[in-house]
Amino acid sequence: MINKQVASVAEALADVRDGATIMIGGFGEAGSPIELIHALIDQGARDLVVVSNNAGSGEVGLAALIKTGRVAKVVCSYPRTANSTVFPELYHAGKLELELVPQGTLAERIRAGGAGIPAFYTPSAVGTPLAEGKETRTFDGREYLMELGLKADFALIKGRAADTHGNVLYNKTARNFGPIMAMAAKTAVVQVEKVVAAGELDPETIVTPGVFVQRVVEVAHPAHESELVAQGAVYP
Amino acid sequence: MINKQVASVAEALADVRDGATIMIGGFGEAGSPIELIHALIDQGARDLVVVSNNAGSGEVGLAALIKTGRVAKVVCSYPRTANSTVFPELYHAGKLELELVPQGTLAERIRAGGAGIPAFYTPSAVGTPLAEGKETRTFDGREYLMELGLKADFALIKGRAADTHGNVLYNKTARNFGPIMAMAAKTAVVQVEKVVAAGELDPETIVTPGVFVQRVVEVAHPAHESELVAQGAVYP
Amino acid sequence: MSADTPTGWSRDEMAKRLAQDIPDGSYVNLGIGIPELVAKYVPEGRELVYHTENGLLGMGPSPAEGEGDPELINAGKRHVTANPGASFFHHADSFAMIRGGHIDLCVLGALQVACNGDLANWSTGTADAIPAVGGAMDLVAGVRSIYVITQHCTKTGEPKLVEKCTYPLTGLGVVTRIYSELAVIDVTAQGFRLVELAPGVSFDDVQQRTGAPLLPKQ
Amino acid sequence: MSADTPTGWSRDEMAKRLAQDIPDGSYVNLGIGIPELVAKYVPEGRELVYHTENGLLGMGPSPAEGEGDPELINAGKRHVTANPGASFFHHADSFAMIRGGHIDLCVLGALQVACNGDLANWSTGTADAIPAVGGAMDLVAGVRSIYVITQHCTKTGEPKLVEKCTYPLTGLGVVTRIYSELAVIDVTAQGFRLVELAPGVSFDDVQQRTGAPLLPKQ
C-alpha cells in the first residue's frame, strides 16, 4: 500500500550522494525547509549543486549548509540578502561557483525540467550580461534566449500539510518554488506540519499532486529563519 | 472598482470579430461552455479559428458552431467523437481546415502562449507523421520537436464559481483546458454557476487567478452536451 | 496460418495477467478499450494510482448505473469516480506528469508493434479517416514503460506484431512488452522474445501468427 | 550643476504623483524601495490589484507591528497582508503572469535610464559586488508598461537619466516613463520628453541634471 511518510528528516535524506543536485524551496525564509536543510548538513554529502532562489542568511538553514563548504555551486537569482555573510565570504574566496539566473527564468527552467521540456525561449535578459554565451532566436520580430530545463536529484520542500500519497498543500507565499521543484526532482522530499491519511484532503484544492512527491516527513513546529537569525543561532 | 461580471453571455461575446482565434475549453462534454458557444453562434462572427481538444458531438455546442460554417479552421487533438457527424462532413467537403496536434503538445503550446514562451521543445510526436515539416533538435542525445506557443483573442471557459475579480474554481475533470486557455487569451470569458464577491473564495484554493480572466458571467444551470444530444437537441 | 487457432487467454485473462506485472505503488495510465480492464485485476495487497490524462490522479471504478457525473470522466470519456488521495489538475500539469517521466506505466492498445518497439495505434492512414491522435504520442514519449495489450492478429488474421510498422507511427522504439491472448512477449534489443505462453498455446502457434522472428524464452 | 538644487517633490509626493497615472483596475507590480510607497496613494474610487512576484495577487498593506506572518511576504521580503480577492500561486505561474504580458504596470527603481528606454537597475558592475538580479529582468521583459521612480541624480550628483547606460543592463528599451523629484518624463522615440515639472522646478533645472537632451512638454 502507498505510504510515503518517513519517520524523520534524517531518514528522508539518508541516500543523498556526493555531487548531487539539490533544489531547495523558499523565497527568503518563506518556504525555506530549515529542518530538512539541517538534516542534509548532518548527513554530510559533499560537492553539492544547490538550486535555490536565495543563498540564506545568518548561520542557519541554507547559509549554514553553504558554510560547511560542501556546496560546490549555487544556481540562484538573488544571493544577496540582509544578514547574508556566509555566501559573500566563500564566493569572494573563490570557493563557490555561482550561476546567476533571472528569477522567472529560474522558475521556468525548473518547471520545464519537471515537465519533460529540454529547452524553451524567453525574452528575459535579452541584451544583458546574463545573455552572454546564450543562443538567441527571433520569433515574430522579437529576440529571445534559449534556456535549458533544470532537473535535480533531490528537492527539499516545505509544505503545510500532506497526505500519505504525497499530495501537498502550502501556506500562503511559502508556496513559491515548492510545486515546481517537486516536479523537477527525482526524489522530492516535503516537510509538513501534519501528515494525514489519503482522502482527508479535498482533491480540488491539492496544489502538488502526489505523483511528484516521493517522501513526506512531519515537522510539527518548523523554525523560522528570521527568528533563528535574531536569536543568533548557529547550526550545527 | 473591479467587477468583471457581465450580465449575459451575449454581452460577454459582443465584441468578437470575424477572423478571431477562439479557444474553447472542455474535454468531451466535461468543461464544455455550451451557453457561451451558443452565444457565439448567435453573435455571428465568421472565419473563426477554433482551438479545442475535440470537435463536438450532435448538433449543439461546438458541433453546432462548426455546422454554421463560420469556423475556418480547427486546432485540435481528437476531432473524432461518438455522435460526431458535423465535423466529418465539413472536413471531407474541404470546408474546414484541421491542424492536428498531440494533446499534450496542444496543452503545452497553450500554456506557453499564456506564459510568454514563444517556443519550446518536446519529445512527443518525434518520428511520426505529425512531425513532418517541424524543426528537430537533439538535447542530451534525444531528439525533440520545436513547437510554438499558441495565443487567442478569446477563450470560452466553463468554471464552477468565480468572484468579481475573476478568480475561478472548476469542477472535477471539467477543469482540463480552462486554466491554461484563460492564460493564453486576450479576453478570457468564464461562465460559472455562481459569481460571488471578492473575498468569498479562499486565496489558497483559487485555480485561475483573476489576472488571467477578463469577464465572468453567471449561467446558473448549465446544460450538459450528452443530455442535449440524447434529447436530439439542435442549436439554434 | 493454422485453422486450429488456439484460444489462449480471454480479454479479461490478458488484463489479469498484465496486472500481475505492475509493482505496488505504481502510477499507471490505462488506454481506452482492453487496457481499461486491467484496473479490475490489481493483485491483493497492491495499491496502484491511476492517472487519466484529462486531469485526474487516483481514478476509481465506474460509478453505479445512473450515478455518473458528466464532469468526472476518464480519457475515454466514460464516467469514473475518484479514490481517496485523488487530485484534479489542468491539462498542462497532466501532460507534465506524462512528458516529464512521472508516470510509471502506460497500457495501450495497438494496430501494429514492430520488433524494434515502434508503435502504430492512432491511424490506419486511410484517406477518408478523420485524423485524431489524442494523448497517445505524449504517453509513449513520456511514460517510463509502455505495455501493449492487444489481440495477436487483426480480425482478418494479419499479424499485429511485425517487422516494421506500415501504419502511421505513434512513437519510435517505445513498446517494452506485449500481452496478447497467446503470449507475453518482450521487445528486446534483439527483437521479440517470448516471456510466457498462454495455456494450450505452443511457441510455433505464436511464431506462426507473428510477423517477425520470435526468440525463445530465456 | 547649480548649487541651488531645487527640492521638488518628496519621495511620498513622487509616489502620489505616479499613483495618479494608474488606471482603475490595473494589475501592478511594485519594486523594492520608493516604488513600495505608491501603494499608499491610490486615488479615491480606484481599485488596483498588486502582484508580488513571489506568489501573491491582491497584496494588501503591511500588518500591524508584531502581527506579521513570516510566510506572507512580498518580493522585498517584508511582511504584507492579502486583500479580499487575493490568490496564492507558485513561481512558474507568477512569472507566467509577468512574462506573458498579464501585468499592466511595473514600478521600479533605477541606477540609470537611457533616452532609448534602456534600464540598468541591478548591478553597478563593480568586481567585488555579489551579483544578484532577482525578477527585474523578467519584469522589464514582460510587463506592459515600466515606470521608473527615482531620485533624479545619484548621491554624488551624477545624472541617472543618461544618453547610454554604463552599468550592466536590465533590459533594452523597456522604460516608458520616469518620475523623479524634479519632473515626470516620458521616454519617446525621440528621447526624453518633459511631461510635468515639480513645483518650483524649471525646465532648465531638469535639463541641467539630465545626461541627455530633454524635449519640451508637448
CA distances from D200 to B158, D7, D183, D203 (A): 56, 8, 11, 10
CB A229 within 8 Å of CB A60: yes
pLDDT beyond 50 at C1: no
Domain presence at residue C127:
yes
Interface test with D, best of A60, A75, A103, A191 (most D CBs within 10 A): A103
Residue B4 and residue C152: Cα distance in Å, rounded?
57
Residue D16 and residue D181: Cα distance in Å, rounded?
11
CB D113 within 8 Å of CB D191: no
Say whether B115 and D58 touch across the interface (CB within 8 A). no
Q: Find chain B residues with C-beta within 8 A of A148's C-beta.
A: 139
In this complex, is the C-beta atom of A141 within 8 Å of any C-beta atom belonging to chain B?
no
Beta-bridge partner residues of A4: none
Domain locations in chain B?
5-119+149-222
Residue B96 and residue B49: Cα distance in Å, rounded?
10
**pTM score > 0.95 for this model?**
yes
pLDDT beyond 90 at A162: yes
Instruction: List all residues 6 or more positions away from A159 whose beta carbon is below 8 Å from its beta carbon.
Output: A168, A169, A170, A171, A178, A190, A191, A192, A208, A216
Find the closest chain D residue to A114 by CA distance.
D92
**Catalytic residue (one of D13, D44, D53, D65):** D53
In this complex, is the C-beta atom of B129 within 8 Å of any C-beta atom belonging to chain C?
yes
Say whether B116 and D25 touch across the interface (CB within 8 A). no
Burial of B88-102, coded b for 16+ CB within 10 Å and e otherwise, reads bebbeeeebebebbb
Say whether B123 and C141 touch across the interface (CB within 8 A). yes
Instruction: List all residues 6 or more positions away from A193 whose beta carbon is below 8 Å from its beta carbon.
Output: A160, A161, A218, A219, A220, A221, A222
Share of chain C above pLDDT 70, in %: 98
Query: What pLDDT digit, counting tens, does each position of D160-183 carry?
Result: 999 999 999 999 999 999 999 999
Question: Quick check: helix, strand or coil at residue D97?
Answer: helix
**Residue linked to cell 548591478:** D123
Domain presence at residue D67:
yes
- The CATH number linked to D54 is 3.40.1080.10
CA distances from A113 to A108, B94, C153 (A): 8, 41, 40
Give how many domains chain C has, as a whole number.
Answer: 1
Whether there are 3 or more C-beta pairs closer than 8 Å between A and C is yes
Q: H-type helices in chain C, by residue range?
A: 11-19, 34-37, 91-99, 136-142, 203-208
ipTM score: 0.97
CA distances from A225 to A37, A63, A80 (A): 12, 10, 16
CA distances from B223 to A226, B26, D49 (A): 53, 13, 34
Residue A196 and residue B131: Cα distance in Å, rounded?
45
pLDDT beyond 90 at D2: no
Question: Is the alpha carbon torsion for D191, D194, D198, D199 positive or negative?
Answer: positive
Domain presence at residue D205:
yes
Task: Supply angle C-alpha A211, A216, A217, rounded to 5.
Answer: 180
Count the neighbouring beta carbons within 10 Å of the beta carbon of residue C189: 7
Amino acid occupying residue D38: V
From the list C56, C98, C130, which residue is nearest B173 (CB)?
Answer: C56
Residue B90 and residue B84: Cα distance in Å, rounded?
11
CB C171 within 8 Å of CB C121: no
Longest dimension (CA), chain D: 50
- DSSP letter for each residue of B124-141: TTTTSGGGTT--EEEETT
What's the mean pLDDT in C82-96?
98
pLDDT beyond 80 at D1: no
Segment among A84-93, A168-177, A225-234, B57-66 with least mean pLDDT: A84-93
Question: Quick check: helix, strand or coil at residue A134?
Answer: coil
Which range marks the domain in which residue C112 is found? 11-213
Domain presence at residue D4:
no
Mean pLDDT of chain C: 95
- Can you point out the beta strands (E) in D54-206? 56-60, 81-88, 105-108, 112-114, 119-120, 145-149, 161-162, 175-179, 183-188, 191-197
Whether there are 3 or more C-beta pairs closer than 8 Å between B and D is yes
- Alpha-carbon Rg for chain B, nearest whole angstrom, is 18
Say whether D88 and A77 touch across the interface (CB within 8 A). no
Residue C138 and residue C171: Cα distance in Å, rounded?
9
Interface test with B, best of A109, A204, A207 (most B CBs within 10 A): A204
Structure-block grid coordinates of residue D179: 518620475
What's the confidence (pLDDT) of residue D182? 98
From the list A88, A127, A129, which residue is nearest D130 (CB)?
Answer: A88
In this complex, is the C-beta atom of B147 within 8 Å of any C-beta atom belonging to chain A?
no
CB D56 within 8 Å of CB D81: no
- Is-catalytic flag, C196? no
Long-range CB contacts (< 8 A, 24+ apart) of D73-77?
Answer: D73/A27, D73/A28, D73/A30, D73/A173, D74/A173, D74/D36, D75/D31, D75/D32, D75/D134, D75/D135, D76/D32, D76/D33, D76/D36, D77/A27, D77/A28, D77/A29, D77/A30, D77/A81, D77/A82
Superfamily of domain A5-119+149-222: Glutaconate Coenzyme A-transferase (3.40.1080.10)
Amino acid occupying residue C91: H
Question: Which residues 67-126 of C have a C-beta within 8 angstroms of B?
Answer: 69-74, 77, 82, 88-92, 94-95, 98-99, 123
In angstroms, how far is the first alpha carbon of chain D from the final one?
26
Query: What pLDDT digit, counting tens, does each position of D14-30 carry?
Result: 999 999 999 999 999 99
Say whether A175 and D134 touch across the interface (CB within 8 A). no
Say whether A148 and B139 touch across the interface (CB within 8 A). yes
Per-residue pLDDT band for D126 (boundaries 50, 70, 90) equals confident
Say whether B117 and D99 touch across the interface (CB within 8 A). yes
Domain presence at residue C5:
no
What's the mean pLDDT in D64-78?
94
- Which is higher by pLDDT, D104 or B82? D104
- Which is higher by pLDDT, D126 or B40? B40
DSSP B37: H
Domain presence at residue D218:
no
Structure-block grid coordinates of residue A140: 515574430
Q: Find chain B residues with C-beta within 8 A of D102's C-beta.
A: 114, 183, 211-212
Query: What pLDDT digit, counting tens, does each position of C14-73 carry?
Result: 999 999 999 999 999 999 889 999 999 999 999 999 999 999 999 999 999 989 999 999
CB C72 within 8 Å of CB C52: no
CB B46 within 8 Å of CB B17: no
Per-residue pLDDT band for D120 (boundaries 50, 70, 90) equals very high
Task: Supply angle C-alpha C74, C80, C86, rounded to 5.
Answer: 85
Question: Is the alpha carbon torsion for D143, D146, D148, D149 positive or negative?
Answer: negative
Query: What pLDDT digit, counting tens, does each position of A122-159 carry?
Result: 999 999 999 999 999 999 999 999 999 999 999 999 99
In angstroms, how far is the first alpha carbon of chain A from the final one?
37
Q: Find chain C residues with C-beta within 8 A of A206's C-beta.
A: 87-89
Residue B156 and residue B150: Cα distance in Å, rounded?
15
From the list A117, A123, A144, which residue is nearest B122 (CB)?
Answer: A117
What's the mean pLDDT in A7-27?
98
| Angle between helix C91-99 and helix B103-115 axes, rounded to 10 deg | 120
Ranges of residues in chain B with a pLDDT under 70 are: none
Q: Cis link prior to A236 (omega < 30° from 0)?
A: yes
CB D132 within 8 Å of CB D163: no
What's the confidence (pLDDT) of residue C21? 97
In this complex, is the C-beta atom of A211 within 8 Å of any C-beta atom belonging to chain C?
yes
The H or E element that residue A190 is part of is: strand A185-192
